[in-house]
Each structure stands twice: as structure tokens, then as C-alpha cells.
């Protein structure tokens, strides 16, 4: 396979938007992160360096060189890929799953089987617009985050859902068990998030650069003797690791979070032996995507999905209560 070159001309309806947004609208099968890696030139072959933040003008023409993909491909689905799926809703256009903790969303480096996408493909079809490794994927949950996740089965649903998530035209609420007891009932947490310079796998709060992020947190329960609280967090943006970064940076890291939890520094203060045993033996942050509300991408009907707490979080709540 050779590199693929596509050409796009700016129409009057697209004039004034950022170049990266214009290209993402023309190529919905690619994420903005993928588009950033493509070679982009204007039709006049001007030597100036194009910036993805540039505003496009009517009549401008851009050529985009899409390199041959080097990502992992999903192998043909077999009976071994079948897995029990907690299906919250399904029709011809979408499927909504209550994702278990410990399951990766899709194949990638170091994981070529046992992913949620492969489990769904063993059950039904998914839109191919998501690409070779991410068919039907319009948003994601971390491997060790459980809860509601929606996939596109039809191409029409994929196109609308990607725009819905990009515009944050939906409601997403999470449950998090965190260290500490806030002195507030609810709070808005804001601050730009970007990739860390020391650990590229870790996101961090940035004073300069990064992407704007906002999370609203409300205290549901608090156990002062254990110095643990249960929060309901609402996302107003959808940055990588957003809730985990925001809560940790404000002094309330998610329990059992290996990346942002700072758990080892707190173990000495845990007096509850059951809680201590749970934290020492449990893998995966205590974060659950509880609620997803949005309009159906094809019928436009309002939809609301709720996923009950997984067994491990219910066990934790019993220990704390």
C-alpha cells in the first residue's frame, strides 16, 4: 500500500474555521490527533509552514498526504473472541455497553486480542469509519475505568456521534471514590490539561498550553474516619484522563489509581484493615462512567443510559459504610 493523497477545497460554509477542524470534517474517519501527523500542503505550494490553528478561506485548496497505516489490524473474529456483553441498548445504528474494568477498548501495541471491540464484532457489526483498529469507536474509556460506552454500528451514526462528542453536546457523569473529604458540597474544577514532559503516558495540569478542561464534582458520600469520599463528576470537556488529573491536582486522587493516585503515601494512615487489604490487592482506579445522555444520532430521540456500579465498587462502599 502506498501513501494516499486527498484534496479538499474550502466552501463558503467552512470559511473561517480552523484548518484542523476543516480537515476533520472532511475526513471523519480520522481523529484530530491522527490528522496532526499527516503532511498538509496548500494548493499554491507556498513555502510557509501551515499551522493547524490557521483559519481557512473560501476557495483555498489543501492536499493531505495520508501515510500507510502502521497500526495493528484486527484479526478475523473467531468464536474465541466472544465475551459476555452487558448490553444496555442496541439497534441498527448503535450499541451501548456497560464496559467492565480491566478490558481494553480496542487492539494496540501489546494487546491484539480480548478487547471490547473484538467482543462486540463477535456479536454484531460496527462502522468501518473508525479505521482498522477502532471500528465504531467514537469515544473511549480507560482500560481500568468501567461503565457506559457507545459504539456506532452504521456509518451515519458514526459521523453524527463523532461530531456530538467533539462538540460536547451530551451529558456524561462518573462516580469516583477518592482520598480526602472536601470542605465543599460541589465544585467546578477547571484548568488546561496536556501531556507531561517527564512521563509521556501521564497527563498533567498546565499553566501554559494544553487543552481547556472543566469538571464539576459533587459529594455523594463521605467517610471522614477513613478519609474517603464518593463523588459524582460531570464532564464538560473530554480530555484524556480528565477526571483523574483534575481530582488529583486538587488533592482528591482516585483510589487505586496507579498513575495519579499517590496511594503508597496514604497507606500508613489507613486504620481500617478491610480497606487496607482492598487497596493493596485491587487493580484499577475506582472510577465508573455511570450516566450517558445524548440524542440518538439517526432518529434524534433523547436517550439516557445508566450503568450500575460494578461489584468491586459496591464492595468498597460496603467496607466504608
Q: Which residues are catalytic?
A: 142
108: which DSSP letter? B
DSSP output for 48-103: SPP-TTSBP-TT-EEEEEEPPP-SPPPPPP-GGG-----EEEE-SSEEEEEEPTT-
Task: Report the distance separating Cα 166 and Cα 160, nearest Å.
Answer: 10
C-alpha cell at 61: 485548496
Distance from CA of residue 97 to its chain's centroid? 14
Nearest to 303 by CA among 178, 205, 164: 164
Task: Report the distance separating Cα 23 and Cα 11, nearest Å.
Answer: 12
Task: Report the distance separating Cα 95 and Cα 99, nearest Å.
Answer: 12
Q: Which residues pair with 65 in a beta bridge?
A: 5, 39
Q: Which residues pair with 216 in a beta bridge?
A: 188, 234
| Residues 298 and 160: beta-carbon distance below 8 Å | yes
Sequence-distant (6+) residues with CB within 8 A of 123 are 82, 85
Tally the C-alpha atoms within 13 A of residue 291's C-alpha that lie toward its C-beta.
Answer: 12
Amino acid at each position: 500500500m502506498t501513501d494516499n493523497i486527498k484534496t479538499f477545497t474550502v466552501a463558503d460554509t467552512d470559511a473561517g474555521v480552523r484548518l484542523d477542524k476543516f480537515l476533520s470534517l472532511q475526513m471523519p474517519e480520522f481523529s484530530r490527533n491522527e490528522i496532526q501527523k499527516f503532511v498538509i500542503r496548500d494548493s499554491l505550494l507556498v513555502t510557509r509552514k501551515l499551522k493547524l490553528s490557521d483559519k481557512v478561506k473560501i476557495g483555498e485548496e489543501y492536499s493531505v498526504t495520508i501515510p500507510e497505516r502502521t497500526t495493528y489490524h484486527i484479526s478475523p473474529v473467531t468464536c474465541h473472541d466472544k465475551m459476555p456483553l452487558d448490553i444496555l441498548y442496541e439497534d441498527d445504528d448503535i450499541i451501548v455497553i456497560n464496559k467492565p474494568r480491566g478490558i481494553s477498548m480496542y487492539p494496540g501495541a501489546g494487546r491484539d486480542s480480548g478487547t471490547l471491540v473484538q467482543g462486540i464484532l463477535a456479536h454484531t457489526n460496527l462502522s468501518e469509519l473508525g479505521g482498522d483498529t477502532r471500528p465504531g469507536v467514537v469515544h473511549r474509556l480507560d482500560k481500568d475505568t468501567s461503565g457506559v460506552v457507545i459504539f456506532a454500528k452504521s456509518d451515519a451514526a458514526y459521523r453524527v456521534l463523532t461530531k456530538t462528542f467533539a462538540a460536547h453536546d451530551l451529558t456524561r457523569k462518573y462516580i469516583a471514590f477518592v482520598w480526602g473529604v472536601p470542605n465543599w458540597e460541589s465544585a467546578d474544577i477547571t484548568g488546561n490539561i496536556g501531556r507531561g514532559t517527564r512521563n509521556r503516558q501521564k497527563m498533567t495540569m498546565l499553566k501554559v498550553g494544553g487543552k481547556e478542561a472543566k469538571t464539576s464534582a459533587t459529594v455523594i458520600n463521605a467517610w471522614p474516619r477513613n478519609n474517603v469520599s464518593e463523588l459524582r463528576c460531570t464532564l464538560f470537556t473530554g480530555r484524556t484522563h480528565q477526571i483523574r488529573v483534575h481530582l488529583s491536582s486538587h488533592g482528591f486522587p482516585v483510589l487505586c489509581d496507579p498513575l495519579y493516585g499517590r496511594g503508597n503515601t496514604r497507606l500508613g494512615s489507613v486504620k481500617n484493615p478491610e480497606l487496607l487489604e482492598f487497596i493493596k490487592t485491587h487493580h484499577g482506579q475506582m472510577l465508573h462512567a455511570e450516566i450517558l445522555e445524548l440524542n440518538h444520532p439517526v432518529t434524534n430521540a433523547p436517550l439516557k443510559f445508566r450503568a450500575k456500579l460494578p461489584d468491586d465498587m459496591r464492595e468498597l462502599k460496603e467496607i466504608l459504610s
